[in-house]
Amino acid sequence: MRSPLALLLTALLAIGFSQTATIAIDSAYAQSAQPLDNNVIKKVTPTKAPSKTKPSHTLDNDYSNPNLKAGNPSKATPDVANADNYLMLKPEYVLSYSKSRNIANWASWQLNKSWMGDAKRQNNFRPDPALPKGWYRVVTTNYGGSGFDRGHLVNSEDRGQSVEVNSSTFLMTNIVPQAPDNNQGGWEKLESYSRILANQGKELYIIAGGFGIGGEGNNGKASQLKGKITVPETMWKVILVLDEPTKGLEGVTADTRTIAVLMPNKQGRNNKWQDFCVSVDDVEKLTGYDFFSNIPPDIQEQIESKKGC
């Protein structure tokens, strides 16, 4: 006899729900000891039929999620078998997480005036309950005495819309071991500059992460914290700056500005983030990722080849 869940999924597919939606329901059911309720079902919406101007709706081309609108750079998926490129879709930002490194490969988020606000910094660092069952959950004490900062990928001030939204940036999946001079120097100055652009009415699509193994904190060089958390060798960030947000990605041209940096994850304070500017192509060559893949290839080639500063 087929299970009630199987019958439910069959019915949903019959009325036009996407396969991705049914997987989301299946995952929600599997993680709960209780049967699905109507509240879970109501949150699932059918996928619209593909138009002639946009590709079909997939995880690689997710136009519905503002934080993934510019593309999925590593083609991350919400499949636990894809443990080192595991997609975590949150309302406030999107992550690709690595189980073996216990840090995110990258975080992607949209930044404009609407995301910022007066909510105070919550500072409530904590494990992320959204990680799959059985995966190690990083806790804030893993960083104690390490000589490294609990460095945000998605900056706290980029999410000041509400207490709840700001609190989401303190989940440990959004945190990487950063050298204090890196985190509090040029990295922080670029974060502040990004908000200046957003306050000018621009819209930014930001992707950031750490690459490699081995950084240098207050206590010297380290490859891991507590034998569990990888310390990146390099911190990187790429930014797409839209001067006219109402036009969306369709308004991106060969003249659209990009910003890209590669910063060594080590001590030695340098507040000038411009000293670390490279092209988006340079970051792609280092990481193997494909940034801004939802932009037409000819335009993408032009904006990514320029030194982004």
User: What is the 3-state secondary structure of 95-162?
Assistant: EEEECCCCEEEEEEEEECHHHCCCCCCCCCCECCCCCCCCCCCCCHHHHCCCCCEEEECCCHHHCCCC
Segments of the chain assigned to CATH 3.40.570.10: 60-305
On the question of pLDDT at 19 being above 80, the answer is no
**pLDDT, position 64:** 72
Give the rounded distance of the alpha carbon of 97 from its chain centre.
9
Pick the CATH number of 60-305 from 3.40.50.12780, 3.80.10.10, 3.40.570.10, 1.10.357.10: 3.40.570.10
Q: What is the mean pLDDT of residues 19-33?
A: 39
Q: Catalytic residue positions?
A: 152
Determine how many CB atoms are found less than 10 A away from the CB of residue 29: 17
Instruction: Quote the pTM value.
Output: 0.81
Phi, psi for 231 (deg, rounded to 5): -95, 115
**pLDDT, position 104:** 99
**pLDDT, position 25:** 36
Pairwise pLDDT comparison (271 vs 23), residue with the higher score: 271
Pairwise pLDDT comparison (236 vs 45), residue with the higher score: 236
Rounded to whole angstroms, how far apart are CA atoms 161 and 159?
6
Place of tokens 């904190």: 217
Rounded to whole angstroms, how far apart are CA atoms 99 and 137?
10
On the question of pLDDT at 146 being above 60, the answer is yes
On the question of pLDDT at 211 being above 90, the answer is yes
- List Cα–Cα distances, 49 to 5, 21, 57, in angstroms: 25, 14, 8
Q: What is the mean pLDDT of residues 101-126?
A: 98
pLDDT (tens digit, 9 = 90+) per residue, 147-192? 999 999 999 999 999 999 999 999 999 999 999 999 999 999 999 9
* Structure token digits, residue 25: 């329901």
Give residues with Cβ within 8 angstroms of 96, minimum separation 6.
73, 74, 76, 85, 86, 87, 88, 104, 105, 106
